[in-house]
Structure formats: C-alpha cells, structure tokens
Amino acid sequence: MSLPLAAWMFPVLMFLIFMGFPVGFALMGTAFVFGIMIYPPDALAYLLTTKVADAAGSQVLAAVPLFIFMGTMMERSGIAERLFEVIHMWTRRLPGGLAVGTVLMCVVFAAASGVIGATESVVGLLAIPVMLKYAYDKGLISGTICAGGSLGTIIPPSIVVVILGPVADVDVGSLFVGMLFPGLILAGLYMLYILVLCTIKPRYGPRLAPEDDELSLLQKIVISVQALLPPVFLIAAVLGTIIAGWATPTEAAAMGAAGSIVLTLVYRTFTFAVLSQAFIKTIVITAMILMILLGGTMFAGIFVSAGGMTMIQDALQGIGLTAWPTLLLILFLAFLAGFVLELVSIILIFIPIVMPLIKQFGFNEIWFCILFLIVIQTSYLTPPMAPAIFYLRGISPPEITLRNMYRGVIPFIGLQFIALGLVIAFPALAIWLPDQLLGFN
C-alpha cells in the first residue's frame, strides 16, 4: 500500500532545514512543490494567494510588531538596567539572591517584551558579570539565565501566543489570562529551587555581606518606586486592559508601544538613535516571524489537501490510541520537534494538524495550548540543540563553558516537567482564571 503524498512532506521539510535553508523558505518551498503535484497551476496560485491574504489580513497579528517594539524600546533605553539594579537591591542578601533576582527580572522583562531572545540576552548581559564577580556556580548562572529567559514563552504578553491564538483558533486574550498561573508557578519553582540549593550548598550562590554604605529602608523604597512603578504600571495597563476586556491584544499592544516611548522620555533616555535602533530591530524580527508564519500557513494548507489529516486519523485508529495517550504523544512529538525547530515553526507545523484531534477528543483548547507552550519551552532548554543555550553562548564570557551550560539547565528542565504535570493534573490552573474573568470554558 502506497503512502499518501502528505507522508513525504515532513521528511522533505526536515531535509531542507538540515541542509541549512531558512525555515520560512523551507516551508514555502515544500508547500509549493507538493502543491504542484496536487493542483493545476491556476488552482495552486489561488490557494496560496488566499493563504497569504488570510495571514496578511489578521488583525491580531498586528500586535506582533507592536509588542516587539515595546520590548526593544525598554531594552535600548536602559530601563532594563535600572530594573535589574533595583530588584537585586532587595534580593542580594538571600541565599542565591543574585540568581533569585535574575529570575524576577526575567519575569518583569518577559512581561515587557514578550520576546524570548530579547529577555535572555538583555538579562544575561546584566546578570552574568555580577554573578561571576561574587563567585556563583557557573552551572547555576547558566541554568538561571536560560530558564529565566525562556519565561518569555509562558509569561504574557508572549509573541508566541499572539501567533498561537489565531493558528489554534483560540482567543489570544484568554490565552494571556490562562498563562498567568502556570507562568508564575514556573517562576516560583525556579526561585524555590535556587533558594534551597544555595541554602544547602552556600558555595553555589553565597549570601552577600552588608555594604558599608547600605541604604536605609526608606531610601530603598523611594528608589524602588522610582524605578519600578512606571514600567510595572505600563505592563499592568497593557495586560489589564486585555484581561478586563477593554482592549483587544492589538489595541493593548499599541498602547504599550506608545507607553514605552513615554517611559524613555520620563527617564530622559530618549534619543532619535535609540528610536531608530528600536525600529530597525522591530522590522527585522517581525519580518522573520511573518515569513515563517506565511510559510507555515502554506505548508499546513497543502498538507491537509494532500490527505494529511486523514492519514493521521487513520494511523491513530489503527494503533488504537485513546484520548489521553494521543494527547501525550502530541506533546512528546512537540518536545522532540523543539530540538531542531524554533518555537514559531513548531506552532505553525503542529497546531493546524493537531487541533482537530484535540477538539475531537473533547479536551479544553485553552488548557491544551498552555500545555503545548510549556512543552516547547522545555524543549527550548533541552540539549543537545537547546536554542536557549545558543543565545547564552553568544553573550557569555569564555570561562562559562558549554559543559557548564548543559549541566546548569538540567534541574530547570526537571522543574518544567513538574509544572507540566501540575497543569495536566489540575486543569483549573490554566482554565479557571479565563473562565472567571472572560467567560471562556
């Protein structure tokens, strides 16, 4: 019995990616070649241009460049450095306090930028020299930066979720709300692990001795309010308007982008050079994401046309998998895909194919999307590919070796599996808040 045409699409796609073709072009090329085998030229041209129009006409995707610009302005203007100093002012006396403060900084910056690479790069450049100065364990430094930076996947407003929502046909606002508890639980597990580890083994993250010119409590409060209140207010306004239903994600993103410019004026860090750099970086990142998005949309459309969904459903029926084994298989395959593909590509390849199965088995769609996000975030950290480690290698000094990085991320991978297990065992962690605030169920 011959295999359906769709069965050859993934091997061809993986071959092109391993040959070094950019993911977006690999997706488009595969879709075009297999589309020629199925449709006459006129019909194929109509189908692919329709996919382009659907992607280009999505109002939700307009939030992508706006959120990227918001994070880029905060990165370029020095606001991130100010936040870093204030957070560490409060945590430095704890066991592993610099690492705990780094995780908190990652939470705040992830909520401000929504871009994983930006969070890891900015926080890493600030935190690594300080932790090395105080003789922190290099594995702990590596694990903290990689795991903390990856929180940009699961802390709203995540760029990944802005893309996931339309592809999965799930409301982006409900996903933002549903991510809150799992994201905070994950950050809490990171900080708890650091505190326990550095209490048991103080050499991993020594407490810092009081400084001679230690600030008074009142001085610390004043400095914290000045540094934290404006950006935290902006983040709360962006997320709050979405959660309250007062604004769509795109409208809230526009408010955040404008607010980030106002912040640079408030802190007197605004220059036209900063604005120009932010615009250029926003354009580059947005173009990359939308190219992959367009390719993924084309690939999914041709895959379905080539009998891909029927092939998958027949295969599942043939091996007799029920709902839960199917769910776990999907999550496992997404985890494996994270070894070779970046997050947006995984979403665009997997979600259009698996969402009909999730609906067929009656699983809650918001809950599944949160599980999917945790899994691809975990694969983002997992050796040997581990994109988070590649980001870290680009910003870390030579004394932090690849071995330190691999050793450092392993405990945090375990913590992510614990968080995944909690959300699987207690679906209310993902769906209770959207149901209460937005009425989704």
With a cut of 70, say whether residue 435 has pLDDT above it. yes
Is residue 133 domain-resident?
Answer: yes
What is the arithmetic mean of pLDDT over 114-128? 74
* pTM for this entry: 0.80
What are the structure tokens assigned to 112, written together? 């401000």
Is residue 15 domain-resident?
Answer: no
What is the arithmetic mean of pLDDT over 74-93? 78
Residue 67 is predicted with a pLDDT of 80
- CA gap 117, 327 in Å, rounded: 29
Is residue 45 domain-resident?
Answer: yes
Is residue 24 domain-resident?
Answer: yes
- CA gap 114, 162 in Å, rounded: 10
Domain total of the chain: 1
What are the structure tokens assigned to 414, written together? 């375990």
Cβ within 8 Å of residue 163, ≥6 positions away: 61, 64, 289, 293, 344, 347, 348
Is residue 431 domain-resident?
Answer: yes
With a cut of 70, say whether residue 439 has pLDDT above it. no
What is the arithmetic mean of pLDDT over 154-162? 82
Is residue 385 domain-resident?
Answer: yes
pLDDT band for position 316 (cuts 50, 70, 90): low
Is residue 4 domain-resident?
Answer: no
- CA gap 120, 225 in Å, rounded: 25
What range does the domain containing 252 cover?
A: 20-207+214-438
With a cut of 70, say whether residue 284 has pLDDT above it. yes
% of the chain with per-residue pLDDT over 70: 90
Is residue 29 domain-resident?
Answer: yes
If you search the block for the tokens 């007799």, which residue do you land on?
Answer: 320
